[in-house]
Amino acid sequence: MCDAPGCGHQNDPRRVSRSRNWSGPFRKTPGRLIGMGFIRLYQLTLSSLIGNSCRHMPTCSEYGYEAIARHGLWSGGWLTLFRVGRCGPGGTWGVDPVPETLPVSTHWWAPWSFWRLGRRH
């Protein structure tokens, strides 16, 4: 897109980012930034050595990045852990997005309640 006046292009400030990670709005708390930093470090280093073998869309690291950004380090970390567990042999496959909001049945003191969120019904 050009920035010339009258060119016909629209400069939309909400234009989609070219990053493979989620770029929506989130509170930038220290826990979230640290968790997202670890996932980004993994993406830049170990991910290329392991290979592209994720059975889900988005990939497990993209899922973790978005889950931590949306729901915080504790809840997003548990969501990510259970998603990586589902990605192994005999696990699920296909499109598995991060939930927009967490149901009221999930509690911070009961991390096993996050396991149900990604299961196929």
Is residue 77 predicted with pLDDT exceeding 80?
A: yes
* pLDDT average, residue stretch 93-109: 88
Residue 1 token pair:
């897109």
3-class DSSP state of 35: helix
Degrees, nearest 5: CA angle 93-101-107? 95
The pLDDT, as a whole number, for residue 32 is 93
Give the pLDDT band of residue 3 (cuts 50, 70, 90).
low
Is residue 38 predicted with pLDDT exceeding 70?
A: yes
Across all residues in the chain, what is the average pLDDT?
82
The reported pTM is 0.79
In order, the DSSP letters of 46-105 are HHHHH-S---EES-HHHHHHHHHHHHHHHHHHHHHHHHHHHTSTT---EE-PPPSS--TT
